Amino acid sequence: MIIIKLDELLARRHMTLTALADAVDITVANLSILKTGKGKAIRFSTLARLCAVLQCQPGELLAYVPGDEKSGKP
């Protein structure tokens, strides 16, 4: 399964989820869904904006963890 390492990047940059949501022009609720691993998809345009604001590469934001992809559990 794919996980989004948003907490790590936010902590390293001393940024809040609200500040990121404002900078990326996405709702805090949608960012929270991504952050908690409940999201099922992300648009490339959203991924690009996240990377631009967080000054990172997609590989720093996303990670693959082997597990049961159907259930979403490792």
Rounded Cα–Cα distance for residues 45 and 48 (Å): 5
Residues facing 73 on adjacent strands: 68
- Spatial distance between the Cα atoms of 32 and 10, rounded to a whole number of angstroms: 12
pLDDT per position in the chain (74 positions), as tens? 889 999 999 999 999 999 999 999 999 999 999 999 898 899 999 999 999 999 999 999 999 989 766 655 55
- The whole-angstrom separation of Cα 46 and Cα 54 is 12
What does the pLDDT read at residue 68? 66
Residue 68's contacts (CB-CB under 8 Å, 6 or more residues apart) are 1, 74
